[in-house]
Structure 1
Amino acid sequence: MRKIDVNQVIDDARFNKFHWRVLFWSTLILIFDGYDLVVYGVVLPSLMNEWKLTPVQAGTLGSCALFGMMFGALILGPLADKIGRRRVIAGGVVLFSIFTVLTGFATDTTQFGICRFIAGFGIGGVMPNAVALISEFAPKKLRSTLVAIMFSGYSVGGMLSAGLGVYLLPTQGWQSVFYFAAVPLILLPFILQALPESVLFTVRKGQVEKAQEILQRIEPSYIPRSDDDLSVSKVEASKGGVMQLFSEGRMASTLLLWASCFCCLLMIYALSSWLPKLMINAGYGLGSSIMFLMILNLGAIVGAIGGGWLGDRFQLKNVLVVLFIIAAVSISSLSLNPPTAVLYFLVAAAGASTIGAQILAWAYVAQFYPAAVRSTGLGWASAVGRTGAIVGPMLGGFLLGAELPLHYNFIAFAIPGAVAALAMMFVHSRQNQRQVSMTGKAVLPE
């Protein structure tokens, strides 16, 4: 009998066509994910004018999708560890596509809110499973970079949403921007064909031939044999569950990761929802104000990919701490009424250090937990973080409703950056937990 260490084969594999295919389709999914989330900030000024919404009402309505994401992450993240990530990703794509399109047909805030909630539920299930899948298949030396590239699709989707908004809103109305979300439904058969199931999931389910087929695609030099004993570390093979997030020395780090995700997502959704409106209040036109969302997401791409490259060479945790500090500084500096060129730079820096940082935070969370609870860990981090995403639009609505000076809004949005940096500093960067080797001897992770 030949023993095959599945984890080792994946870690040592060379990047090939299989990895390209998974990366391409995962990134495409995240593009539509990002589009569906950022689109609310794009249509918000038009929606407030047409439906005569107060800032508090608009902030609450913006949080509907985020409530859905929280429940989607809590339910669909752990579910994928039981039934497979591929199925959950496909189901999430169907949900968020259909109900984002239906949002364009809403005639009142109740219909709008329900559609956004269900769409958010689907998005909440897609994100942690897409991250978990690419994290599992990526060669170890490229893991942070590939997750960052994949998640930059979120920012591309945000830029696409803003770009279409500039073009469509003046002539076609806010409803037209939501109809574009039908495209993933057309691509769903190709997504199902291209995305493989988690190889570690198939091993745990005893689907040996299927696992061998996927493993050979990951590493073509592996030639399957009938007597192969596909094995994963006992940590990877252990039964998943929420309590595993707090076992083996992970409790403090789990709570600190949740805190940093909460703070970062608060900043992201406060800015994504209210930046165009704040810029209008500062004297910019609607088209120019929406362009700030494009710059925010362009900065996010640079921050995510550049930060991923640095994270593969240095400790990813340290990169995150620096980015969170930059977020606090850049967002608070928006309150100083800088020249236009400096303002664009600060908005791009804010995108790099909020959206870009959160992309890297998902990569860090995925690497922190063993595969058996990776989707669960990402799902719960996402769900807790989404409470911050819910607070963000509501906080912006409250601040605007209170008619405070403009700089108060940016300072309030910047404070969570400092808190996130402090929380991340105390996360155990090497997972302070004892892992068990294949021989049964307890060893510290390398």
Structure 2
Amino acid sequence: MAEQVDSRPVVDVVPLIENQKIGRFWVLLFAVSWAVTFLDGFDLQIISFAGRYIQEAFALSNTQLGTLGTVGVVGTLLGGIAMGYVGDRVGRKPAIIVSTLGFGVFMLLFAVAQDYLQLVVLRFATGVFLGGALPLVWAVVTEFAPARLRSTSVVITMIGYSLGSASGGPISNLLIPRFGWEAVFVAGGVVSLLAAVPVALFLPESVKFLAQRDLHQHRIGAILRRALPGVTLPAGARFVVGTGGRDRAPFRPADLFRGGRLALITPLVWLAYMCSSAIVFYLAFWGPILNERIGFSVSAAATLAAWTAVAGAAGQLLIGRFIDHRGAGTIAWMPLLAVPCLMLIGLVPLNAATYVAVIILAHIFVIGGHGGIISICGIFYRPAIRANGAGWATSVAKFGAMLGPWLAGFVMDHGLDARGTFFVFGFFPVAMVVLLVVLGRVQKGLSTDADGSLQAAEPAVR
């Protein structure tokens, strides 16, 4: 018997997405994405603001406190891989819902921990779900964004994360003196559970993912009509992504190194992301504590940490638009400018005003560069494996994130003062600069039809 020919009209979703106008759909998409990333940033960062109180309550050494920060990062490592796999199998949206509910539940349980072992176990479990949420949100946003706004859309999404991190200081100042350190974890857990509701109601599934996996074809048209008001779609259409056909092959880690020069691109992204994560998580976890040890009051240290997080968000916005037009190499300017700031704090005695100015500049450049790397970590992979690509990059980067909090605690326990840690971590951005310059040159050599190319491919004629 001859094979039945599918006579349904074919609609390529790529040109529809490339030619879309940014409107109401994007406002709602960013709003829901911000809710998830804000809580992810708050829940991951709050351990640093509450760290001093937890250290006193459980009589922890600096190394133990650093380990508590590190074990959460270990959880995010595993979570990025596990939830990325789920996101590429069943969809980004259900995986994001599970992640949001998961870190909400374990935040609440962390607040009732009775000893150090329970703190470690519960912080690890929280990290698993925190690590899963971000790569999935990036995948959704990236796959709805036209090429001209691909990196910018991820940077805008990550503003929610930076604001969530910044909110930890004021909320800690408000709640901890009155209700104890447990209160901030209860607040984070409850709000995280509530956030799963708008995610379930309003977050769209990626149409590129559904089309390339040939899943739920009936849903794609409805989502496209929401995203593109007034679009005319033929009845009974079959939706595809470019000319590559369906992609139902099971994901294997080796896929991240095959095709489109990925054998070189993937290691470069991973190594740059690792170096960036080491310094970012060092600043995030130890920042408020180091501010205190340098001479600021508890309240002033937390407020300064919050302002540095806002400065980091500004740095992300500053670099975002350049990446879409000039490529990954542009990001290298941020860590390059961070080096003298970190070395200055580490080597020169500064008065309070000068320290505040330099530490804010350092965060603009450090967090700006980190946001730039985040914005590109999934763009080089085809939609069917993009969540896995972003998830693996995020998870591998956690080796750097684990090193950061632990290394700072270790060197301080062995005689280095708080200022000296800035000098030690000033070497990580130097490595980032080299890696990002090489990555930028590789990206410029990609063909126009390759994922991550600086130029969008011409739409396929059907």
1:64-213 matches, within 5 Å, as: 64-181=71-188, 182-203=190-211, 204-213=213-222
State the distance in 2 between where 1:171 and 1:228 align: 59
1:388-427 correspondence to structure 2 within 5 Å: 388-427=400-439
2:340 is matched with 329
Partner letter of residue 328 of structure 1? V
Which residue is equivalent to 1:232? 241
Q: Residue 33 of structure 1: CA displacement?
A: 0.2
- Tell whether the 8 Å contact from 1:19 to 1:138 is kept in structure 2 after alignment: no
User: Any idea what SS the aligned residue of 1:225 has?
Assistant: coil
Change (3 A) 1:356 1:199: same
Residue identity opposite 2:230 in structure 1 = S
Shift of 1:434: 8.5
**Unaligned 5+ residue runs, structure 2?**
1-7
Shift of the 47–95 alpha-carbon distance from structure 1 to 2, 3 Å rule, reads: same
In structure 2, the partner of 1:276 is 288
Residue 107 of structure 1: CA displacement? 1.8
Displacement of 1:77: 0.8
Give the aligned partner of residue 260 of structure 1: 272
Which of the numbers 234, 253, 258 marks the counterpart of 1:242?
253
Structure 1 distance, partners of 2:377, 2:277, is: 15
- Contact 2:277–2:397 (8 Å) recurs in 1: yes
Structure 1 stretch 31-40 or stretch 226-235: which is displaced more? 226-235
Q: What do residues 306-362 of structure 1 show as CA deviations (whole Å, max 9, x unaligned)?
A: 2112323x3241331001112222222222232333322222222222223222212
Task: State the distance in 2 between where 1:436 and 1:234 align.
Answer: 12
State the secondary structure of the residue aligned to 2:340: helix
Deviations 1:187-234, CA, capped at 9 Å, x for gaps: 322220101111122222342221111122222232222253422135
Q: Is the 8 A contact 1:64 1:113 kept in 2?
A: yes
Residues 43 and 137 of structure 1, relative CA distance in 2, 3 Å threshold: same
**Identical amino acids, percent of aligned pairs:** 25
Partners of 1:98 and 1:332 in 2: how far apart? 41
Q: Does the CA contact (< 8 Å) of 1:241 and 1:376 recur in 2? A: no
8 Å contact 1:26–1:130 — kept in the other structure? yes
Post-superposition Cα deviations, 1:112-142, rounded to whole Å, max 9, x if no partner, equal 1111111110011111000010111123322
Q: Distance in 1 between matches of 2:308 and 2:223?
A: 38
What TM-score, normalized by structure 2, do the two folds share? 0.90
TM-score by length of 1: 0.93
Matching residue's letter, 1:221: G
Q: 1:377: Cα distance to partner? A: 0.8
Question: Are 2:17 and 1:6 equivalent residues in the alignment?
Answer: no
Residues 1:386 and 2:398 aligned together: yes
Q: Deviation at 1:169? A: 2.3
Structure 1's 57 and 436: CA in aligned 2 closer, same or farther, altered over 3 A? closer
In 2, distance between residues paired with 1:379 and 1:187? 22
Corresponding residue pairs, total = 440
Q: Is the alpha carbon distance of 1:348 and 1:207 closer, same or farther for their aligned partners in structure 2, counting shifts above 3 Å?
A: same
In structure 1, C-alpha distance between the alignment counterparts of 2:252 and 2:407, rounded to whole Å: 33
1:52 aligns with 59
What runs of 5+ residues in structure 1 fail to find an aligned partner? 438-442
- Between the aligned partners of 2:220 and 2:323, the Cα distance in structure 1 is 30
Separation in structure 1 between the aligned mates of residue 456 and residue 254 of structure 2, nearest angstrom: 21
SS at match of 1:366: coil
Determine the structure 2 residue equivalent to 1:297: 309
SS in 2 for 1:284: coil
Q: How much is the aligned-residue C-alpha RMSD, in angstroms?
A: 2.1
Classify 1:414/1:159 alpha carbon distance in 2 versus 1 (closer, same or farther; 3 Å). same
Alpha-carbon separation, structure 2, partners of 1:100 and 1:433: 45
Is the contact made by 2:318 and 2:368 (CA closer than 8 Å) also made in structure 1? no
- Asked whether 1:352 is paired with 2:364, we answer yes
For 1:308, the equivalent position in structure 2 comes to 320
